[in-house]
Structure 1
Amino acid sequence: MKKSNGLKVVIASAAHRAHYVEWFKAALRSEGIYGEVIAFEYRDTAPTLSMADRGVVVPAYNSPEYRNEVVSWVRRESPDLFISVNDYELQVLAGGLAEELREGGCTVAALDADAQNIVLDKHQMAARLRDRGLPTPATWLGSETDMAKAANSDGRFIVKHRFGSGSDGVRTATDETLQAMVMESAKAARDAGGKPTTLGEDAVIIQTLLPGAEFGVDGVFSLDGTGGLNGALARRKDRMRGGDTDVATTVAANGFTQVLVELGDLLKPVGPIDVDFKEDTEGSPQVIDINPRFGGGYPFCHLAGADVPAYIVRELAGLADVRSLLDYEVGVTTARRDEFSVLRASASERPARASEEIQGHA
């Protein structure tokens, strides 16, 4: 059972994702759990800093100071849960930082290094999924255009960044345009750490273009790191905007759960992960991407009745398992919208910096 001073939930790289801050705060209230939600961000103008119970400005995940400041803060504050919603910060966590934070009893929603490499490198991911017999489209490196064209009689392809986030570098191509699309996509490609890459054409991948509907599916896994699947939530992506789902309709998740069970065994996720599927010509869903975090599509299921934050805080608090919190209404169509938030009332009021908090409690 949780210690008497309440639960502390940290949402890192919170940025503009205010809904997660609001929903975790609401979850603590609805479940009768004393605690606070703390937002971490490197930009002091991020709206989530003022919306959280506490906003803490930390160095950017790729700065030299990031690791030490986060470790010092976590050791002093002893949070119960550390969640990041940034793909590249998850890479830093998987590189040993998560294990360091866990030493003090904090649950960190991050994969280990091997599993993180699988989901980060889309070429390796396709190979590992095929090895386990899981459905995924045929995949080649950008330098293998001739091989791709010889193997794909349909002559239609999708090109995207090998280490990309969201829809980075996505291009559609035919036999005639494939080489040009690979070169164009590679110009903006980045490496595994989010920096400009030297891999050239091999910084992108080529896949068979799947013609069917696309789905986003959340697998909700146990926080103990065993990879046990507690529930699944799914929606059909009806329209995209800027690489994110703009309009989606909730659907039953039973057609995706067996793949999620297999992914749990392969990756041993902690908490929620987001898996993208696309249907092939026969209507069979194929795995096209895996994000080991709350995905951008979860809100569509939340607004249809699911409450993963409440499910998570109950698990953290050692309360009884309530699977009904993962239920939602099928057939609900929701559209994404923009909102505005007041950051602070005057220039003298600003979020505390992690280093200042540490000094203030020394």
Structure 2
Amino acid sequence: MKILITGVGGVTPRSFAHSLRKYSKYARYEIIGTDINKYAIGLYMNELFNKTYLVPRVDAPNYWEEIDKIIKEEKIDIAIINPELEVVEWAKRAQSYDFPCKVLLPDYNLASVIVDKAQLTDALMPLGIVPKSFTIDKDADIDEQEGKLAYPFWIRSALGSSGLGSMLIKSAGDLKNWITINPNVEKFLASEYLPGRNLGCKMLYYNGKLVRSAIAERVYYIMSKVSPSGITGNTCFGRLVNDEGVFDVAKQAIETMIEKTGAPKHGFFTVDLKEDADGKPMVTEINVRFVAFTQAYAAGGANIPEDMIRLLDGDPNFDMEFKLYEFEKDMIFLRDVDEQPIIMKESQLFS
């Protein structure tokens, strides 16, 4: 089976590929990778990818020409699109174009709204499942922001992921300085500080039905010292979690957005949540892509990349009944740069 995976310079697409190579028994895979950066390590990982291509940016005039050529010449069966900008552009094209390969894409209108954290927060605010928040333009008068939220509060870019522009703000001076040193961020989202667990809930919808979900907790981040917030978007220590309450909030959030945009229940999403002081999960963002520790989920028994492939391939033996993956108790994962993740019991740490 020929699989195209885009953005292989990123950890997440490579994690998807590892999930198929190491943990999937469904098929034999020939995996083709693409990236826009000639220095991207994934382009040269011959043991993981059978062939790779350097391609233009998704907003370049010749992007589709090059992608279409690869799909045709390589006879791609299934395409896996991971960078969010690419997901949105593929979804946009799918409105008026039938791809010659199979690809699982969310509705374009839904994707366009939920990747904007500010729009998402406004839409979910009446439900009480998002933190109190407000937006700040980069040219805003800082004095006018006083009193909107009590210090400390959290700030980050209203668009994008991986902790872009994130910082715990403790004073008006912090806010002014942080906006000044992040000139490329056009709009920030300020939110009340939530001290509880940092969670990710994966949601796989197919043809109107939620079929698979799995939850994990992010505890510490790789190279956290390089970021003032301590968040780099790449988890080094996490837990595989069984928590129906977290799932219920994540489902409420994504299905509310599906209803508001009139979108079909179709696509893959990662709902990020943070618990407040009382342990209540609050939605902080929804991504239209997998996350970097996808391979850790697969190693723990939740191989959602394989689930997606089986659905797109029309596997008659795939169980369409919904499954919230349940992990062994006490399971954690450890990750680091240039190393494969380790799955083990948390009780075994330092033993």
TM-score, length-normalised on structure 1?
A: 0.76
The answer as to whether partners of 2:114 and 2:120 remain within 8 angstroms in 1 is yes
Among 274, 279, 283, the residue aligned to 2:279: 283
Rounded Cα–Cα distance in structure 2 between residues aligned with 1:125 and 1:73: 35
Query: Which letter maps to 1:91?
Result: V
Rounded Cα–Cα distance in structure 2 between residues aligned with 1:148 and 1:280: 23
**In 2 relative to 1, CA 61–238 (structure 1 residues): closer, same or farther, beyond 3 Å?**
same
**In 2 relative to 1, CA 144–206 (structure 1 residues): closer, same or farther, beyond 3 Å?**
farther
Query: Which letter maps to 1:15?
Result: G
1:21 aligns with 2:17: yes
Please give the secondary structure, in 1, of the residue aligned with 2:336.
Answer: coil
1:122 aligns with 2:106: no
1:213 aligns with 2:210: no
CA RMSD of aligned residues (A): 2.9
Please give the secondary structure, in 2, of the residue aligned with 1:259.
Answer: helix
**In 2 relative to 1, CA 15–179 (structure 1 residues): closer, same or farther, beyond 3 Å?**
closer
1:10 aligns with 2:4: yes
1:204 aligns with 2:188: yes
Rounded Cα–Cα distance in structure 2 between residues aligned with 1:316 and 1:108: 7
Alignment correspondent of 1:38:
32
The answer as to whether partners of 2:142 and 2:172 remain within 8 angstroms in 1 is no
Count how many residue pairs are aligned between Structure 1 and Structure 2.
314
**In 2 relative to 1, CA 44–173 (structure 1 residues): closer, same or farther, beyond 3 Å?**
closer
1:48 aligns with 2:38: no
1:184 aligns with 2:184: no
Alignment correspondent of 1:159:
155
1:305-336 deviation per Cα after TM superposition (whole angstroms, max 9, x unaligned): 22112222222232222477944324212111
Alignment correspondent of 1:232:
213
1:98-148 deviation per Cα after TM superposition (whole angstroms, max 9, x unaligned): 4456x14533333333212222211111011224x2501111111486676
The answer as to whether partners of 2:234 and 2:292 remain within 8 angstroms in 1 is yes
CA positional deviation for 1:243: 2.9
The answer as to whether partners of 1:304 and 1:330 remain within 8 angstroms in 2 is no
Q: Please list, as runs of the form range in 1=range in 2, the aligned pairs for 1:1-362 lying within 5 A after superposition.
A: 7-17=1-11, 18-26=14-22, 30-31=25-26, 33-49=27-43, 50=46, 51-75=48-72, 77=74, 79-94=76-91, 96-99=92-95, 103-131=98-126, 133=127, 135-142=129-136, 143=140, 149-152=146-149, 154-177=150-173, 179-181=175-177, 183-184=179-180, 186-189=182-185, 199=186, 203-222=187-206, 224=207, 226=208, 228-241=209-222, 242-262=232-252, 263-264=254-255, 266-267=257-258, 268=264, 270-319=266-315, 320-322=317-319, 326-339=325-338
Rounded Cα–Cα distance in structure 1 between residues aligned with 2:38 and 2:94: 24
Rounded Cα–Cα distance in structure 2 between residues aligned with 1:71 and 1:44: 20
Query: Which letter maps to 2:3?
Result: V
CA positional deviation for 1:62: 3.1
The answer as to whether partners of 1:238 and 1:249 remain within 8 angstroms in 2 is yes
The answer as to whether partners of 2:212 and 2:324 remain within 8 angstroms in 1 is no
Rounded Cα–Cα distance in structure 2 between residues aligned with 1:114 and 1:251: 31
The answer as to whether partners of 2:241 and 2:327 remain within 8 angstroms in 1 is no
**In 2 relative to 1, CA 247–109 (structure 1 residues): closer, same or farther, beyond 3 Å?**
same
Q: Which moved more, 1:76-85 or 1:168-177?
A: 76-85
| Structure 2 residues without counterparts, runs of 5 or longer | 223-231, 259-263, 341-351
| Structure 1 residues without counterparts, runs of 5 or longer | 1-6, 190-198, 342-362
Query: Which letter maps to 1:284?
Result: K
CA positional deviation for 1:160: 0.8
TM-score, length-normalised on structure 2?
A: 0.78
**In 2 relative to 1, CA 134–277 (structure 1 residues): closer, same or farther, beyond 3 Å?**
same
**In 2 relative to 1, CA 285–25 (structure 1 residues): closer, same or farther, beyond 3 Å?**
same
Rounded Cα–Cα distance in structure 2 between residues aligned with 1:287 and 1:181: 27
Please give the secondary structure, in 2, of the residue aligned with 1:316.
Answer: helix
Q: Which moved more, 1:160-169 or 1:330-339?
A: 330-339
CA positional deviation for 1:284: 0.2
Query: Which letter maps to 2:318?
Result: D
Rounded Cα–Cα distance in structure 2 between residues aligned with 1:187 and 1:269: 37
Query: Which letter maps to 2:249?
Result: V
The answer as to whether partners of 2:242 and 2:327 remain within 8 angstroms in 1 is no
1:141-166 deviation per Cα after TM superposition (whole angstroms, max 9, x unaligned): 114866764343x4321111111321
> Identity of paired residues, percent?
20
**In 2 relative to 1, CA 124–150 (structure 1 residues): closer, same or farther, beyond 3 Å?**
same
